Amino acid sequence: MPDNPTSAGSAADRAYAEIRGLILAGDASPGTPLREEALADIVGVSRTPIRDALRRLEVELYAVRTPGGRLVVADWDSDDVAEIFALRAMLEGHAAARAARRVTPAQLAELRQCNAAIEAAVALPQPDIARFLAENRRFHDIILSASASARLSTMLAGLVEQPIVRRTATRYDRADLARSAHEHGQLIQAFAAHDEEWARAVMTAHIRRALHAFQDATPSK
């Protein structure tokens, strides 16, 4: 009996989500081979949806081919990283400007609550990096939602940024973490004032500072 197209698509989507999750969590580090048979065992599906998922991950640059043709988890050189951050600065700066015009009182309250959680995570005797990362992602997602642009959501989803954010945050000291929360506070002020250019400028500076933090935290190869 032929595969049900709907179930096959669901299996490929699940395989994509689980493999991408392994990469984002750092459980599959850069250079790790992505073997269909092993991944099929991990995900619990056949090799066909795994193959579909890997094609998608390769298009999105989560995976790359070695000169020998093997598919591995992508790593990024300094030019790749600089370009990712430059694109993020442009897109998230535009998202912040749109959000400043459209943000609702409920979204503002959620942003304040989210940043309070970030500040609490930073203030612990040993900063809670996992909580910082989760709330940081939530903060930026709220802004993207407030921007009300499906196009921006699609474009930002294609940027391989979360592994870079994770790698940077694990090397942040308390001052770096606190500075990030402070910049979030400035964004909230800009949104409360509905000032598009202020929001764009703060977000652009926020992303640019993150680039330099990443470069400072990454040993040269």
Each residue's pLDDT tens digit, 183-201: 999 999 999 999 999 999 9
Could you tell me which residues are beta bridge partners of residue 73? 63
Task: Give mean pLDDT, residues 2-11.
Answer: 57
200 and 96 in contact (C-beta within 8 Å)?
A: yes
Q: Do domains 5-73 and 78-217 have the same CATH topology?
A: no
Alpha carbon distance 124, 120 (integer Å): 7
DSSP 101-162: HH--HHHHHHHHHHHHHHHHHHHSSS--HHHHHHHHHHHHHHHHHHHT-HHHHHHHHTS--H
Question: Which residue did the predictor score with more confidence, 220 or 116?
Answer: 116
Where residue 164 falls among pLDDT bands split at 50, 70, 90? low
Q: Looking at the predicted structure, is the pLDDT value of residue 86 above 70? A: yes
Q: Does residue 40 register a pLDDT over 70?
A: yes
Dihedral over alpha carbons 173, 176, 182, 188 (to 10 degrees): -110
CATH topology of domain 5-73: Arc Repressor Mutant, subunit A (1.10.10)
Domain assignments of the chain as residue spans, ordered by start: 5-73, 78-217
Question: What pLDDT, on a 0 to 100 scale, did the predictor assign at position 9?
Answer: 64
Share of the chain above pLDDT 70, in %: 87
Question: 34: pLDDT confidence band, cut at 50, 70 and 90?
Answer: very high
The pTM assigned to this predicted structure is: 0.74
- Residue among 48, 75, 47, 50 nearest 61 (CA): 75
Which of 81-85, 92-96, 175-179 has the highest average model confidence (pLDDT)?
92-96
CATH code at 78-217: 1.20.120.530
Residue, of 211 and 104, whose pLDDT is higher: 104
Is-contact 200 186, C-beta < 8 A?
no
pLDDT tens across 68-81, in order?
A: 999 999 887 778 88
**Percentage of the chain surpassing pLDDT 90?**
61
